[in-house]
Every structure is written in C-alpha cells, then in structure tokens.
Structure 1
Amino acid sequence: MKKKLSLLLLGLTAALFIGCGNKAESTGKQVKTIDDLEGARIGVQIGTIGDIYASDYEGDKAGTTIDRYNKITDAVQALKQDKVDCVIVDEQPAIATTKDEPSLVILDEPFALEEYAICIAKDNEELLDSVNGALAELKEEGVIEQIIENYIGDETKGTCPYVTPEGTEYPNGTLVVATNVAFPPYEYYEDATPVGIDMEIIKAIGDKLGMDVQIEDIEFDSIINAVDSHKADVGIAGMTMTEERLKSINFSDPYTTSKQVIISRDPEKSGEGIGFVENFKRCFITDGRYKYMLKGLVNTLIIALCAVLAGMFIGFIVAIIRVTHDKTGSLTVLNSICKVYLTIIRGTPMMIQLLIIYYVVFKAVVVPKVIVSIIAFAINSGAYVAEIMRGGIMSVDGGQMEAGRSLGLSYKQTMVSIVLPQAIKTVLPSLLNEFISLIKETSICGYIGLIDLTRGGDIIRSITYEAFMPLIAVAFIYLAIVQLLTIGVGKLEKNLRKSEK
C-alpha cells in the first residue's frame, strides 16, 4: 500500500510539472485595443455581460475563441499562464484582480458600459415595487453614494461604511439574497463574512423593508434560476439587465453604473512572485481562511456518510425486489418501477440530478442544502448499490436457496438467513468503494451554494487570486481521505479472505 501511495504522489507531482511546462494555449496575440480582439482567445466568466458581448466575436472569420470560466479568478489565472490572450470583466473587479499583478494591464478603452440592477421573480411584482421604493429612498438620502464611496476612491475608501439605523426591526421576515461572493468590491469574503458594495446595498434595502437579509452564495449563472424558482427572493451580483434576461426575470431600477474592460498581459512587465511560506500564510492563515476548507470538509464527510447509508438502504430494497422478480416472477410492477429508476439515475449525470432536485423537486419547499445534497446523493448512490447488491445475491450458488427450501424454510427466511449474509460478505468491499466514489462526487455541491471541500478552496481562490495553493491543498485532502479508506478496504478484504479459509 505504501508503494501505491508513493506512486500516486509521484504521478500527481509529475502531472503538476508537466502542466506547468505545457505549450501555451493562447494565440500569442497581444491585445492592446478593442480592434485586437478579432482572432484572439478571450476569457470570460460564464453568464456575465462580458460573456454575452464577447459572444458576438465567437465564430468570426478571424477565428476568435471564447473560453468560459465559472469564476473570474479562473479566467485571470488562465491569462497569467498565457492560456488566453485577454479577459473581459467589469472594471472594479478588474482593478482588484490586477492590483498585485504587474504583468497584467487594464486597457484604457472601455469595452462596454452597463448599469447594475437587482433581479426579482416575474410573479413577485409586490417585492419589485418595494425594492424600487427602497432604492429611491436610499438614493435620495445619499446612502447608495456613501456605500459606493466606502469601497471605491482613494480618499473615501473604508471611511464611511453603512450602519443600520438604531431601532431598526425586522417584522416582515427574511429577505433571501442569491449572489456570487467572488466579485470584489461588489461582493467578497472578509473574515468569513460576505461584504462589498452589493452586500451593503441589499442590507440597507432590507433595513428599509423591515426584513432580515440572508445571503446565499451560489454560482453566478445559477442566480437567475434561484430567484425564478423562489429559492431566493432577489439576486444581486453586479447584474446587468438585458433583453434575454428579461425573458426570465424582472429587474429593479439600476443602482449604479459600471463598464466592461479588457485585461491584457504585457510580456515586458514582470514581477517577483511571493515565497512559498508567505503564500501559504496568505491562503490559509490570514483571517483564518483555512476555516472555509475545514467547514467544507465537515459538510463533505456528513453528506457522503449519510448519503451512502441511505443509498445502501435504497439499494438493498431495489436489489431484493429485482432478485425476487427474477427468481419467482412476482413483484412485476415494483420491478418495472425499479428498472425505470435505475435507467434514469445511472443514465444521467450526478450534477444534473442535484440541480433538478434542488431547483425543481424542492422548488416550493425550503429544505436545508445539506439535506437536499444527502437526498440527491442517496438516490444516486442507491442505484449503483442496488446493482452491486443484486450482483452479490445472484453470485450466491443457487443450491443454497434450494437447500434452505428443502429444510422447510420459506423464500423470505432462506433469503434472510442464508443468501443475504453470503452476498453482503461478497459485496462489502464494493460498497466501501462506492463510499469512496461518493466522497469525490460531493465536489459538485457548490452548484447549489453549499460549502463543501472544493467550494472552500474556491472561496480562498476568489479572495487571494491564487489558484495553485488552494487547489493542491484540496487535492491532497481528497487524496488523504481516499487513501485512508482504501487502506481500510484492503484490510477488510484480507480479513474476509482469512475467514473463508
């Protein structure tokens, strides 16, 4: 086992070095003006205005290519590694992203102008009117301008934060807000708390409406879906109203203006990178950022453990139904239902199942995201456990069943007392391997805004704009967990073989 672990570590290390030495994927074109975008490889965050506008260049005669990333930090990291020629993003996040990157420059010429607004479901006109009324009051009182100046401006930055007026009460319940906390200075994490222009504006709106604000951090391209399905009341994340978005969602009056800019890489400029120790402290020690990964690890283990136990129960029931039908011809209807279940679950991606359960099945029901994840992964795991169990039961010699029946035992008694104990002993290592696979699959929980281990690393990346350290840390934690479980499975298999002798 030690040899196996060493080979895995060696392979991962080799892959990292090979990845660092790969030939650049960009066209090698230096983008100095908007005219240079034609024929370039452009990086954008998926679903943003930059993505929408850049799409006009895609597929042109010059061969322009658009690379879409879930986070703007990923796009900028690709630019630093010369995988794209430029990145299109909102001005203020561009400034924050390039602040400590001397090789990256923001072009003076703006790519596009835009206005930010708050998205609200089309069937919630009452809330739309209330939000617009609150925005109008905040603008008249100068609060919106104060909030923006607290985050933008050399002379005013950090000097005028928004403070909830004394005596404010929240008799009107909770305002659930969907956002993507990876877009400074509009929304980002500070001391594990979402802060920024948008966060203070929505807090001020909540104070005006007498509603306590609850922030839900999800992927940017899922915000409109979350609001439309009433998983959230409003969405705010530097969002611009477009004709296409208006088909699905309503928007409030604009609360600020911005512009899309182009980040380019200047090969003549370079800077010294920070040392390993300093980088480690910045990623994990400063502001206790390791807590994001620790919280994510706890959620990952809870979801995986609960889901595999529930999945074993589901799989066991399905397997018994299918085996009983195969052996006796009974339970025809239940067997047909089980076959449909297995076909759908094993034939569709886990991520799609998770999104369907969260946004469709529980559309009108408020269920904690951990519970939603456990249900989704349990249903998925149950399908695979069912086939594992069915294979184990069918592998038991048919003579065992005949022997039990000849002793006067019923079919049920023979199955419970003779067949199942042998089958479980056979499939136990496979069931533990299913648990290992389930742990890795939980890395998609971030799509519904739940902080799992992978999401915890993503949050650190969005704060530090450092990709290598958080990603490697997440990879090694998964590797350590899997190796511990693999060792456990190996020992169990040895013990089972000994008991057979």
Structure 2
Amino acid sequence: MKKKATILACMLAALFIGCGSADNTKTISSIDDLEGSKIGVQLGTTGDIYASDYEGDEAGTTVERYNKITDAVQALKQGKIDCVIADEQPAIASVENEGSLVILDEPFALEEYAICIAKDNDELLEQVNGTIAELQEEGTLDEIISNYIGDDTKGKFPYESPEGVTYDNGTIVVATNATFKPYEYYENGEVVGIDMDIMHAIGDKLGMSIEIEDMEFDSIINAVSSHKADVGIAGMTMTEERAKSINFSTSYITSKQVMIVKDANAAADGQTFTEKLYANFVKDGRYQYLLTGLRNTLVIALCAVIIGVLIGFFVAIIRVSYDKTGAHVILNGICKVYLTIIRGTPMMVQLLIIYYVVFKSVNVSKVLVAIIAFAINSGAYVAEIMRGGIMSIDNGQMEAGRSLGLSHKQTMTAIILPQAIKNVLPALANEFIMLIKETSICGYIGLTDLTRGGDIIRSQTYEAFIPLVAVAFVYLIIVELLTVLVGKWEKSLRKTERKAD
C-alpha cells in the first residue's frame, strides 16, 4: 500500500510540475548541420525515408522514430532530439501554438502526395484518377486546398456535396492517420481536412459514400493491400519502395519536407495548468475520446477474459487428463502447439495476423476482432494458471471422490476445480489486469481504445503530458477497483472455508 501511495504521489507531482530535462541539443540552422545530430521523424513517413540516408554516418547521426508527429515534437521540446523532419503543413500546425519551436525556411525536400490503392484494384485506380482530373479541371481541388491553406482563403471555400447526389454504388473505405493537420485531423469528433474533403468529393463523383478508418500511419498500406480498406490517404508521398507493394493515383498536391527546431530566443510557455486542462479535455468535447476509448477497452477486456477463461479451462483439463491418465493424446498435442505458438509470439503480432490475415476477406467489427485476438491470447495463459492450480490439489481428493462413486468428470467439476479456482484466483485477477493494459495496442488496427483516445487528444493539442497522465490515472483506477473486488471475493471464499470447518 505504501508503494502504491508513493507511485500516486509521484504521478501527481509530475502532473503539476512537469518533466524537466537537461537541454544538450545541437543547434540546427540548415541541412548542413544535420550530420552528427539526433533527428526525429514519424515512423514510415517520407521524412523517415529521407532521414535514413544520414543514419549511421561517420558523424554519428541518429534517427529517432515515433509513432506520431506529436511525439516527435514533444521530444524536441524536451531536448531529447535536435530537430524534427516532417511534412510542411502538419509541421506548421504543430508549431502554431508552440512559441519555443520554429520551422527553418530552407526546405528539406519536395514531394508529391497521392492516394494509394491495392495492386489488384485497377478499376478503382482508373476511377480515382479520372475523378481527380475532373476535380482539377473544375477548380474544386484548388478550392478544397485553399480552404485549409492560405491566410487569405482559409475557411472561405468549405466543400459541400452537390444537391441530388445519391450513393447507390457502394462505399469507399478510406484508411488514414488523423494526425496530419490540415490534411486529416479530428474536429468535433469527426475526421476532417484536405484529404477527407478530397475523398468526399471523389465519392460524390462516383456515387459512393465514404467510410473513414483512422489507424497508425504504418498500417495504412497493409490495410489497403489486404483489402481492409479500399484506399489510403494521409499526406502520403509516392516513393519507389512503396510502389512495389501498392499502386498510387495521380498526384493531387505538391508539398515539401521541412525541419522543425527549437527557438533559442523563445519565451517560456505561458499557458496555465487550468488552460491546459481546458484545451485537452473541455474544448470541443475532447473528453469524449477518452470515454469512447474506455468503453471499448472495458468491452474488449471483459468479453476476452470470459472467453479466455473458457478456453483456458478446456485446455487445462485436457492437459491434466493427459498428464494423469494418458488420455486425449491428439487433443493434448493440439493444445501444446496452441500454447507454444501463443506464448511464444507477441500479442501485437497476433492481433495484426488475425486482423490482416485471418479476417483478410471478412468484413467484421474491429471490436470483435480484438475480442477474439485477446481471448485466444489470454486462454493460453489461463490454461497454464489453471493447470498449475489443478496439479496443486492432492491426488487423494480425486481418489476420495472416486471412492464415493463419482465419475472422473464429476469429481473434477465438483471437488477439484472449485479448490483449484480458489488457489489461482490472484493469478487469474492478474491476468485480467494484464489484459486490460494490453488492449492499448488496438490502435494498430484503427480501433479507439483508452490509450488511442489520449493519442487523439495529443494529436490535436500537441500537449503530450496531460493526456498521458489522464490515461494512466484511468488505468490505475480500473486496476485498483478490480483488485478490491477480487480481494473481497477471496475473503468471502475464506469465510465459506471456515464455516465448512
């Protein structure tokens, strides 16, 4: 209890004080200064590709890869890296309210953005290319872009679907990463931006509705190539390496890579703690991302643990029966293979395989996919927990039950299992706790769990610390409530034991 109180006190202190760090960053004023520096990029982006050319040189240049541009910007603010290479418009958005950061005038590289489409979907590629050409000719494409970019035109040309448009030709599932403002970002709970308006305009032309799937950037091409999504659009640059596994439409905009660096003359952040709380949770109802994520986390964890316990019980009984009587040889072999594979591979890899491979051609709910993946994973660990609990029961218990005329099955269910469950209850509770926290990887298949809810807030506010601490507190509360409930259950079982005595 003292340890928990100490951890809680440290978290509270960190929340109000913040995380300080020694600033030993190298001053970057041009591309020539990049050698020997620490470069921050978003994993899988064009900036990552370009920065890789510097990695491992004689000057000792290193590249730090982050899942989101907001993470890289936060690391730059804290002095963990020397600069960030990113797309121009997302970079502008990231430093808009950050007085300590600036963008160098010198462009790092020029690039063309395009829509990615699966290699075997030539029909859709032709339709998208034809529609982009129409939008360019009509001037609609320029209006969409100018509505988000340009001091004189911003907000003056919002895209609206033409009257009388029908969507009788189906749905286009769009994979994106809503952290690239102004191309794609969250506003009032919806994904908006240049790319989203372009996709809505394409959908209107083709008579198809648009369904947006927000996921990690490095998952977009996999989602499209596996037909989990029809197209991918996220400020994505056409490169030779990407073109090997995916097709690209014609370009719809030219952009550039820029370098974000710290401004040595900048003043300290003037936002108060109350203002930060408002910006992260109250403004635009951003707390709802946490509520949605919490709901999905609890649903996935609860359903997965119930199914996992059933799987675990079945596997444990098969394994114990084989160990004690030599029965169920084939089933025991299958169970051993299952345990070896599940316990020997990472949970995230299992989730991605089930989503992108097992359910490649099946359109099922992502929540259901997550439940199945976590249940299969949890079942393996529950099986070994239960097997240990059953094996800990003295053999005399089984012999006593059989001598009373009970069958092996009756003895197992009426005498052995109740005692085994009581013995392994703390271990089962710990497995449930681990399962709740492991759901934080659901963002890799575009599902909003509690952790991803905090990530969405960070992508909007570029404030990493407060959303992360809020998410940590919610997880801590859930775990503490579960610990209390299991403790009460254990006490009630001990009371029953004393009454029986």
TM-score category of the 2 structures, normalised to the smaller one:
over 0.9
Asked if 1:59 is matched to 2:51, the reply is no
Aligned CA distance change for structure 1 residues 37 and 4 (closer, same or farther; 3 Å):
closer
How far off is 1:407 after superposition? Answer: 2.0
For 1:319, the aligned partner's letter is A
For 1:38, the aligned partner's letter is E
- Equivalent position SS for 1:88: strand
How far off is 1:200 after superposition? Answer: 0.1
C-alpha separation in 2, matches of 1:17 and 1:240: 40
Other-structure match for 1:175: 172
Deviations 1:305-327 (A, max 9, x none): 00000000100110111011111
Other-structure match for 2:322: 325
Deviations 1:427-456 (A, max 9, x none): 223222211111111111111110000000
C-alpha separation in 2, matches of 1:433 and 1:147: 51
Other-structure match for 2:155: 158
Contact in 2 for aligned 1:296/1:452 (Cα 8 Å): yes
Asked if 1:196 is matched to 2:193, the reply is yes
From 388, 391, 395, the equivalent of 1:394 is 391
From 313, 317, 332, the equivalent of 1:316 is 313
Contact in 2 for aligned 1:101/1:271 (Cα 8 Å): no
Other-structure match for 2:284: 287
How far off is 1:337 after superposition? Answer: 0.6
- Equivalent position SS for 2:147: helix
Deviations 1:126-163 (A, max 9, x none): 00000001101111100100000000111110011111
C-alpha separation in 1, matches of 2:422 and 2:106: 69
Other-structure match for 1:148: 145
Other-structure match for 1:485: 482
Asked if 1:457 is matched to 2:442, the reply is no
From 113, 137, 151, the equivalent of 2:110 is 113
C-alpha separation in 2, matches of 1:10 and 1:463: 28
Other-structure match for 2:252: 255
C-alpha separation in 2, matches of 1:22 and 1:339: 48
Give the alignment's TM-score, normalised by structure 1. Answer: 0.97
- Equivalent position SS for 1:282: helix
From 330, 346, 349, the equivalent of 1:349 is 346
- Equivalent position SS for 2:254: strand
Deviations 1:60-93 (A, max 9, x none): 0000010000000110111111111000001111
For 2:452, the aligned partner's letter is R
Aligned CA distance change for structure 1 residues 21 and 191 (closer, same or farther; 3 Å):
closer
Asked if 1:6 is matched to 2:1, the reply is no
C-alpha separation in 1, matches of 2:295 and 2:237: 36
- Equivalent position SS for 2:233: strand
For 1:164, the aligned partner's letter is S
C-alpha separation in 2, matches of 1:428 and 1:439: 17
- Equivalent position SS for 1:312: helix
- Equivalent position SS for 1:160: coil
Other-structure match for 1:226: 223
Q: Which runs of 5+ in 2 are unaligned?
A: none
C-alpha separation in 1, matches of 2:373 and 2:71: 28
C-alpha separation in 1, matches of 2:176 and 2:122: 20
The correspondence of residues 290-301 of structure 1 with structure 2, limited to 5 A, is 290-301=287-298
How far off is 1:226 after superposition? Answer: 0.3
Contact in 2 for aligned 1:283/1:470 (Cα 8 Å): yes
Give the alignment's TM-score, normalised by structure 2. Answer: 0.97
How far off is 1:14 after superposition? Answer: 6.3
The correspondence of residues 352-431 of structure 1 with structure 2, limited to 5 A, is 352-431=349-428
C-alpha separation in 1, matches of 2:481 and 2:374: 22
C-alpha separation in 1, matches of 2:328 and 2:447: 39
C-alpha separation in 1, matches of 2:314 and 2:155: 59
C-alpha separation in 1, matches of 2:369 and 2:321: 31
How far off is 1:16 after superposition? Answer: 6.9
C-alpha separation in 1, matches of 2:494 and 2:404: 29
Contact in 2 for aligned 1:46/1:69 (Cα 8 Å): yes
- Equivalent position SS for 1:470: helix
How far off is 1:22 after superposition? Answer: 4.0
Deviations 1:363-419 (A, max 9, x none): 111110000000000000000110111111111110011111122222112112221
C-alpha separation in 1, matches of 2:39 and 2:236: 20
How far off is 1:273 after superposition? Answer: 2.5
Other-structure match for 1:499: 496
C-alpha separation in 2, matches of 1:97 and 1:219: 18
Contact in 2 for aligned 1:30/1:266 (Cα 8 Å): no
For 1:404, the aligned partner's letter is G
Contact in 1 for aligned 2:224/2:231 (Cα 8 Å): yes
Other-structure match for 2:27: 30
Q: Which runs of 4+ in 1 moved over 4 A?
A: 13-19
Other-structure match for 2:272: 275
C-alpha separation in 2, matches of 1:99 and 1:404: 74
Other-structure match for 1:439: 436
Contact in 1 for aligned 2:119/2:245 (Cα 8 Å): yes
How far off is 1:272 after superposition? Answer: 3.3
Q: Which has the larger displacement, 398-407 or 229-238?
A: 398-407
Other-structure match for 2:45: 48
Aligned CA-pair RMSD:
1.4
Deviations 1:33-69 (A, max 9, x none): 0000011100000100000001000000000010000
- Equivalent position SS for 1:177: strand
For 1:115, the aligned partner's letter is E
- Equivalent position SS for 2:368: helix
For 1:490, the aligned partner's letter is G
How far off is 1:490 after superposition? Answer: 2.0
Other-structure match for 1:139: 136
Contact in 2 for aligned 1:429/1:492 (Cα 8 Å): no
Asked if 1:304 is matched to 2:301, the reply is yes
- Equivalent position SS for 2:167: coil
- Equivalent position SS for 1:240: coil
Deviations 1:477-496 (A, max 9, x none): 10111111112222222333
Contact in 2 for aligned 1:121/1:227 (Cα 8 Å): yes
Contact in 1 for aligned 2:21/2:79 (Cα 8 Å): no
Other-structure match for 2:243: 246
How far off is 1:359 after superposition? Answer: 0.6
How far off is 1:13 after superposition? Answer: 4.5
How far off is 1:425 after superposition? Answer: 2.0
Aligned CA distance change for structure 1 residues 158 and 19 (closer, same or farther; 3 Å):
closer
Q: Which runs of 5+ in 1 are unaligned?
A: none
How far off is 1:19 after superposition? Answer: 8.0
C-alpha separation in 1, matches of 2:13 and 2:337: 43
- Equivalent position SS for 1:42: strand
C-alpha separation in 2, matches of 1:418 and 1:283: 54
